[in-house]
């Protein structure tokens, strides 16, 4: 599953793109260089049983593409372990435009197994803004046999308060571009374990889970996943599949995200602002000292 360093002498696009802008300030205009977050399509192809099938196209920031593909397939239940994946590579088909070869990822699955691809029908085109298109329901997760997350760990409110600043401090690409989301994995003490960035929250989460899959660190028991922006059904689905008991987000969750958290025993925190956050599910994992509670 090693990444090829080059294809036909071509180099892939980086995660940052240089441009020039006109800055209008105090009634004056000046030109200066600027850095943008790169956004390009990535086509994920499954290679199994002698056939190749496109299963998803997503707009993403180039970088950690193999983790993105692996994490996406794991989150959808297509693969259940790193051993299901024989090889991941970029496209080397000479008929493909050389400029697009690094935008096509082939995931070769091991033979002799039946892979249910029906869950991928709704994923043929994914945008960086809204996640996958199509209906998503709790029944899909139940039919896939996703287990309820077991109790624990307990984390202090102070740990959760500290996560946004730690996530932001680790966002190197955001510093350069100002236009990227992040997904971070923290331990129960609030120490950062890994972080991935992308123009899409769900892509960043897939990259993080793909890293954990290929590093043999799943399930993510006793860990916290923190995402920038809001938490959606897609984010909770991916974290549930990875076994993450606690999910935190800078902004608000969707109603279906809350439903997933409550149905499957996850802790969901949102609106992390300074010394304040909202708990939408799983409050038993968060300790507050002194343990007082007001109603209003």
**Annotated catalytic residue 130:** yes
176: its two tokens: 């350069």
| Domain segments of the chain as ranges | 40-135, 155-287
Query: Looking at the predicted structure, is the pLDDT value of residue 152 above 80?
Result: yes
Distance, in Å, from the CA atom of 116 to the CA atom of 48, rounded to the nearest integer, reads 12
Largest Cα separation within the chain, whole Å, is 68
Examine residue 153 and say whether the peptide bond preceding it is cis (omega within 30 degrees of 0): yes
Distance, in Å, from the CA atom of 132 to the CA atom of 127, rounded to the nearest integer, reads 7
Query: Looking at the predicted structure, is the pLDDT value of residue 2 above 70?
Result: no
Of 48-52, 95-99, 141-145, the poorest mean pLDDT is in 95-99
Query: Looking at the predicted structure, is the pLDDT value of residue 134 above 90?
Result: no
Over the stretch 104-123, which tens digit does the pLDDT of each residue have? Answer: 999 999 876 666 666 565 54
CATH topology for 40-135? Ubiquitin-like (UB roll) (3.10.20)
pLDDT band at residue 174, thresholds of 50, 70 and 90?
low
Distance, in Å, from the CA atom of 62 to the CA atom of 39, rounded to the nearest integer, reads 7
- Mean pLDDT for all residues in the chain: 84
Complete DSSP assignment for the chain = -PPPS-BTTB----SEEEEEEEEEETTEEEEEEEEEE--EEEEEEEEETTEEEEEEEEEE-SSSHHHHHHHHHHHTTS-SSGGGEEEEEE---TTS-GGGGGGEEEEEEPSS-----GGGGGGSSEETTTEE-S---HHHHHHTTPPPPPS---EEHHHHHHHHHHHHHT-HHHHHHS--EEEEEEETT--EEEEEEESSHHHHHHHHHHHHHHTT--S-TTEEEEESS-B-HHHHHHHHHTT-SEEEESSPBPHHHHHHHHHTT-EEEEEEETTEEEEEE-GGGEE-SS------
pTM comes to 0.86
| Superfamily of chain region 155-287 | Cytidine Deaminase, domain 2 (3.40.140.10)
Question: Interhelix angle for 233-241 vs 201-214, to 10°?
Answer: 10
Strands 51-60 and 40-48: antiparallel
Choosing from 91, 130, 239, 248, the catalytic residue is 130
Strand partners, 110: none
Over the stretch 193-249, which tens digit does the pLDDT of each residue have? Answer: 999 999 888 999 999 999 999 999 999 999 999 999 889 999 999 999 999 999 999
What mean pLDDT is predicted for residues 11-31?
Answer: 81
Examine residue 219 and say whether the peptide bond preceding it is cis (omega within 30 degrees of 0): yes
R_g over Cα of the chain:
20
* pLDDT top residue among 274 and 111: 274
């Amino acid at each position: 599953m090693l990444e090829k360093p080059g294809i036909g002498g071509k180099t892939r696009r980086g995660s940052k793109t240089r441009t020039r802008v006109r800055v209008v300030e105090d009634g004056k205009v000046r030109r200066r260089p600027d850095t943008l977050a790169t956004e390009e399509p990535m086509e994920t192809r499954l290679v199994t049983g002698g056939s190749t099938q496109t299963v998803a196209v997503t707009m993403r920031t180039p970088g950690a593409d193999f983790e993105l593909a692996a994490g996406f397939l794991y989150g959808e239940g297509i693969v259940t372990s790193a051993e299901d994946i024989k090889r991941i590579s970029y496209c080397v088909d000479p008929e493909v435009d050389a400029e697009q070869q690094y935008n096509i990822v082939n995931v070769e699955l091991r033979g002799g197994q039946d892979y249910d691809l029906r869950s991928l029908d709704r994923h043929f085109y994914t945008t960086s803004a809204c996640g996958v298109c199509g209906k998503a329901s709790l029944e899909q997760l139940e039919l896939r046999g996703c287990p309820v997350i077991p109790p624990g760990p307990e984390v202090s409110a102070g740990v959760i308060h500290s996560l946004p600043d730690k996530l932001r401090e680790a966002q190197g690409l955001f510093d350069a571009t100002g236009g990227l989301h992040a997904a971070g994995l923290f331990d129960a003490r609030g120490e950062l374990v890994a972080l991935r960035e992308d123009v899409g929250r769900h892509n960043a989460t897939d990259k993080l889970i793909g890293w954990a899959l290929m590093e043999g660190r799943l399930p993510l028991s006793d860990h916290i996943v923190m995402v920038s922006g809001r938490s959606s059904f897609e984010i909770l689905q991916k974290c549930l599949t990875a076994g993450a008991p606690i999910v935190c987000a800078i902004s608000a969750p969707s109603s279906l995200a809350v439903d997933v958290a409550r149905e499957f025993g996850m802790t969901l925190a949102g609106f992390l602002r300074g010394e304040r956050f909202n708990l939408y599910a799983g409050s038993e994992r968060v300790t507050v000292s002194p343990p007082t509670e007001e109603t209003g």
